[in-house]
Amino acid sequence: METTITQMSKEELKELIESIVEQKMLELIGDPDEGLSIRKDLFKRLKRQKEQVAKGKRGKLLEDVVKELGLE
């Protein structure tokens, strides 16, 4: 069954518009990082972080980092 715009909630309409705009922007300007290489050390760090997140481990809370850096 098709949904018309008038049947959508504000949130659904917002998500639809965001999706269309993002698609069009990628179409027009593409991915600026496409084709660039990534340093081995950065790649390893990102891979390690991804594995940690998959295991349910997370980094520090933003609030804790803010306190540690005295940015309150």
Give the model confidence (pLDDT) of 2-57 as tens digits: 889 899 999 999 999 999 999 999 889 988 888 899 999 999 999 999 999 899 88
User: Where residue 60 falls among pLDDT bands split at 50, 70, 90?
Assistant: confident
> What is the span of the domain harbouring residue 20?
1-36
Check residue 3 and give its pLDDT.
Answer: 82
* Whether residue 1 has pLDDT greater than 80: no
Task: Tell me, yes or no, whether 32 and 45 share the same domain.
Answer: no
**Apex CA 71: angle with CA 66 and CA 72, to 5°?**
85
Check residue 55 and give its pLDDT.
Answer: 92
Check residue 19 and give its pLDDT.
Answer: 95
Task: Tell me, yes or no, whether 22 and 42 share the same domain.
Answer: no
Q: Could you give the number of structural domains in the chain?
A: 2
